[in-house]
Each structure stands twice: as structure tokens, then as C-alpha cells.
Structure 1
Amino acid sequence: MMKTLIVEDKENTRKGLLRLLELIDANINVVGECATIKEAVVVANACKPDLIFLDINLIDGTGFDFLEQTENLNFRVIFITAYEEYALQALKIGAVDYLLKPVAIEELKTALNRVMELPTQVQKQQLKTAKQAYNNDGETIILSLQDSFQIIDLKELLYCESDKGYTTFYLNNGKKYLASKSLKEFEEQLTKNSFTRPHQSFLVNLKYIDKYDKSGTIYLKNGKKIPVSSRKKETFITKLFSWNKNL
């Protein structure tokens, strides 16, 4: 029997997963259910499970925090997550198995089959890659492109331009990437950093601004000109001066 631990802070998800495991008769012995990282670390060290179903967002941290505290143990992991795009992108980049809530029985079977065939050392590397993508400390953004996920270093991002629901990211090295999302969907994350939105079609990295023409034009250090809309002019100037004071 495979010793299995469920680490999930929602009781209904834990109980639902238990029922599914009983239904598929997967030769699994659930040795514990935990709702917090603190509790899960104690149980994992005591029971040394072979497999852990791990929620990516727990009430006292993330699943990656738990993995850091149990790195000396040897077990396989299947993540459980709600439909959170950022978390899912990180898991997909690492090629880590995951289950979406509510868990479906066929998806559970597929995930179990895949993870059992995977050498634990291979999965550890996959988890490391996923962790790097997830814990980027706001210094990167993950773009879902047509055939890949692209990690963008925000320090190298000059500006973003939106057109008909698509957004193009322009980098300092001359590269550009087209994402099939509107600029608004990136605005919250980027404006927490050194970015401002001077126009409905543009997000600009303040560190790459060379000058601002009072007629309403931003000149970037690479020569690109960005318009400033009349209704955003005052907000833009305020943020520009505020950002410079903090340098």
C-alpha cells in the first residue's frame, strides 16, 4: 500500500478526494489529512509518505513552502489547485502534475498513473522549476504564448502595446512577444512595479523614459515615442516625479 498524505485547507476538498481514492481502489493508504503547512511538516516527517496531494495555496503559506521544509524526504507530489492562472502557469512550466478543484475521478486516475511512472529525482527537478516560476518575487511575468510559456524579466521590459485584445511585450534586447490578452489583464501586476499606463494602448517602464515632452509625448531611451492621453496626463506626471524621488 502506498502511504499517502493529503495537505489541503478545505475540508470538503479533502473528503471529496478521499471518496474518489476509495472508488478507484488505487492501493493507497491515506495516513493523514492536514490543513496547514505546520501540521503537514510534522505528519510528513513522522509518517514518511510515498505520495502527497498538496494544495498550492494554504492558509499559512504555499505548497512550495511545505516542500522547502521537507526537502530531505523522498515522496511524489500531485498538486491540488483552484483555477488560478498564475499558479497553473508555474505548474505547467515545471511539467508538474496537478488536479483542478473540484477533483474529477478520471483526472485523478490519469495523474496517479503519470506520477507513479516518474522517477522521484526527475519530479524534484520539475518541482524546482515550477517553484522558480511561481516564486518570482514580482521580478518576472509569465506569458502564455501560442506554443509555450515565456518568462519575462521585468527589468528588461521596455513597454507593452495593446491592439484588439492582444498585447505585445517589447524587451530591451530587441525581442518581442505577443500574448492573446488585453493590456488590462497585465496592468495590476505591472503597475505595482516601475510601470505606468499613460495611454489606453500602452504600459511603459519608467526606468526607460528619456524625457517627457509637455505636449504629451514620452520618449524612451531607444527612441520610441509613446503618447500620453489628456485624461491620464496628470496621473502620469505625478507617478513620474514620485518614482524619481524614490530612486
Structure 2
Amino acid sequence: MKALLVEDKVYIRKGLLHLLQSMETDVEVIGECGSVKEAVVVANACRPNLVFLDINLIDGTGFDFLDQTGHLDFKVIFITAYEEYALRALKIGAVDYLLKPVDVEELQLALEKVKNLPSGEQRKRIKTAKQVWYKNDSTLVLSLSDSFQVIDLQELLFCESDKGYTSFHLANGKKYIVSKPLKEYEEQLQKVNFTRPHQSFMVNLKFIDKYDKSGIIFLNNGKKIPVSSRKKEAFIATFLKYNSL
């Protein structure tokens, strides 16, 4: 089987590659990718039979990759960290997955299961997992003073924290304020391409127009977001990686 490794952490890819090479299998790794964009190009060119696929990638999710390669015929083994939403989605869909760091025995079991599963049946299971995943991770329910507000995270520009309150600013100009600190939402937002350049802000990377080296982020609606000196190096690395894919 010709296999493609799609994982944005190099050490995870190299570790998985080493395990596959040390095992007696018919799996030949034909490529390694760290992003959705790169993986789509390589998959179309190389036509793998099997894809080891991370769920959270720097420019999207593994499901984004599958949406863009639906015309190709390959089987999938997901790779994921111990994340509540990811594991719940995969378990409900009965989809094969490997937890990071990958264990050799679990890898062997996953390979055996996926080889014996018809591709059509696996795609049905992945579709179920995808529906569960997006239900949990593409929206956020905010508890306001008089209602519960559902927001689409793909339309969220940035969040701002102030004295235990957090304001959510959407691309359509709407603003919602909740009486919870920003740290309550940080983990979920980081899964969908948000970064925290300052203690008081989280920003959606896709809405950044430019970064001024003086330490200011300019969003595409003109809003300016400060970058703290302590977080500047990490922010620049994340920003450049996101925009180089």
C-alpha cells in the first residue's frame, strides 16, 4: 500500500515513518505533508492507497483535506492527540485512529482493521465522525445575560478580555459580551486557527491583513491588535507558518 503521512508536527511524522519502516508490512510511505494545502497537491499527484491523517492541521482540519480529495480512492487512519471532541467524533463514527505518540501495537491493529474494511463503508463512518466533529468545533454557544447565542467560529474576528469579561467580535459587526475570562475559550479557539498574541486578545489568523514589526496586527476590517513582547516570537512563527501554506 502506498501511504501518505499528513501531520503538521515533524517529530510525529518521523516517529510514524520509523515505526512503519521497522515493521513487516506492505506499506510504503510515498510522501509527508504538514498542511491541508500541501497534502491535497501531493495526494492528487501520487494517488496513495492509505493516508495517515492528523485532525488538527495548521491551515484547517483533516476533514477539509478529505473534502478536497473526495474523487480519490484511499483509506484513512486518523492521528490525534487526546482531545475530547476529536476522540468523541472518531469513536461515534467507529473510525480507526491512533493516539499521539503512536504505539507500534496500536499501529499494527489499525493497519489490519483498515485493510479489511471496504472503502465505501469507511467513508460512511468518516462522514458520521465529520458531522459530530463540526457540530462540536465549528460553533460556540455563548451564555449571555438573557439568552444563549450560537456563533460561527469561522466568522469570529477576535476576542477581547477585560476584567473577567470577554467580548466576541464578528465579521458582520456584531459584538457579544460574556462574563467569563478568555482562558475559558482558548483551547477550543486554538483548534480553529486562532492565536493569542496578547494576554487580552485572541485573533482569527484568516482575518489578519498584515503585521507591523512594531508589534501591531492589522485585521482586514481595520482593527488594530497589539502583540506583547513576550508573545511576539511565537506569534510571528505562527503567523508566517499559516501564511506560507
TM-score range relative to shorter protein: 0.5 to 0.7
**How far is the alpha carbon of 1:5 from its aligned partner?**
0.3
**How far is the alpha carbon of 1:138 from its aligned partner?**
5.9
CA distance in 1: counterparts of 2:66 and 2:119, whole angstroms: 13
CA distance in 1: counterparts of 2:104 and 2:118, whole angstroms: 24
**How far is the alpha carbon of 1:195 from its aligned partner?**
3.0
CA distance in 2: counterparts of 1:129 and 1:139, whole angstroms: 15
Partner of 2:80: 81
What letter corresponds to residue 132 of structure 1 in structure 2?
Answer: Q
Percent identical: 60
* Matched residue SS, 2:65: helix
**How far is the alpha carbon of 1:23 from its aligned partner?**
1.4
**How far is the alpha carbon of 1:33 from its aligned partner?**
0.4
Partner of 2:141: 193
Deviation string 1:27-71 (CA, Å, 9 cap, x unpaired) is: 111110001111110110111100000000001100000000000
1:14 paired with 2:21, answer no
Instruction: Please give the root-mean-square deviation of Cα atoms over the aligned residues, in Å.
Output: 2.1
**How far is the alpha carbon of 1:193 from its aligned partner?**
2.0
**How far is the alpha carbon of 1:136 from its aligned partner?**
1.4
Partner of 2:127: 128
CA distance in 1: counterparts of 2:27 and 2:34, whole angstroms: 20
Partner of 1:66: 65
After TM superposition, the score normalised by the length of structure 1 is: 0.57
* Matched residue SS, 2:53: strand
Go from structure 1 to structure 2 and tell me whether the alpha carbon gap of 1:23 and 1:135 turns closer, same or farther (over 3 Å shift): same
What letter corresponds to residue 73 of structure 1 in structure 2?
Answer: L
CA distance in 1: counterparts of 2:85 and 2:105, whole angstroms: 24
What letter corresponds to residue 41 of structure 1 in structure 2?
Answer: V
What letter corresponds to residue 135 of structure 2 in structure 1?
Answer: N
Deviation string 1:188-215 (CA, Å, 9 cap, x unpaired) is: xxxx52536x9xxxxxx836xxxxxxxx
**How far is the alpha carbon of 1:109 from its aligned partner?**
0.3
CA distance in 2: counterparts of 1:117 and 1:15, whole angstroms: 26
Query: Would you say the 8 A contact 2:85–2:136 is kept in 1?
Result: no
Tell me the matched-pair count. 151
CA distance in 2: counterparts of 1:138 and 1:91, whole angstroms: 14
Structure 1: state its 5+ residue gaps.
141-191, 199-204, 208-234, 236-241
CA distance in 1: counterparts of 2:63 and 2:90, whole angstroms: 11
User: Which structure: larger Rg?
Assistant: 1
* Matched residue SS, 1:113: helix
Which structure has more relative contact order (CA 8 Å, sep 6+)? It is 2
CA distance in 2: counterparts of 1:55 and 1:139, whole angstroms: 17
What letter corresponds to residue 206 of structure 1 in structure 2?
Answer: S
